[in-house]
Amino acid sequence: MVSEPPGPGPVNEKPLKIPGSSPSAPSPAKLPPEVASLEEVTRELLSGRVAGDTSNVAWVVLFGPNSLTSVREQVLLAPDGSFSFKLPPQGKYRIILVGKQGTTLVTRPRFQSLEVGEYGFAGIDFKVVGAIAP
């Protein structure tokens, strides 16, 4: 004789309680370190630093305003891994690292997105964690 599997168990309708939290006061979202490092500054620059093995980085590229296909400016890294762009007109921008020809970079974060107003930003930092070369 074949026995039937047991039916579903009872459903607990109490809300899940997580230690250190309260349903009336949600905890603030924790920003990843690379985003948390952004700082709005009065200087008319967008600046940051690239850590890790920068030998395969060809350019730091600024796309925008309000476009992921329009290159606004591209700059080389300084020997210490820093870079900066002149403050562009107001709008949304994206910054990415581009590898030397034929090389794909693996970076953290993959890109940085900024809403530029009348002030610049410092701390637009990246870390190169790898590179895929042909």
pLDDT one-digit tens code per residue, 57-96: 999 999 999 998 999 999 999 999 999 999 999 999 999 9
Query: What per-residue confidence (pLDDT) applies to 25?
Result: 44
Among 2-11, 46-55, 90-99, the range scoring the smallest mean pLDDT is: 2-11
Domain ranges of the chain: 34-132
Query: What per-residue confidence (pLDDT) applies to 120?
Result: 92
Query: What per-residue confidence (pLDDT) applies to 41?
Result: 79
> Sorting pLDDT into bands at 50, 70 and 90, what band is 15?
low
Interstrand relation of 126-132 and 104-108 (parallel, antiparallel or unpaired): antiparallel
Is the domain defined by 34-132 classed in CATH 3.40.190.10? no
d(CA 129, CA 127): 6
Query: What per-residue confidence (pLDDT) applies to 30?
Result: 47
Indicate if the pLDDT at residue 1 is higher than 60. no
d(CA 34, CA 97): 14
Strands, E, within 8-118: which ranges?
39-41, 45-52, 57-63, 71-75, 82-86, 91-99, 104-108, 112-116
The pTM assigned to this predicted structure is: 0.71
Q: Which residues pair with 62 in a beta bridge?
A: 73, 95
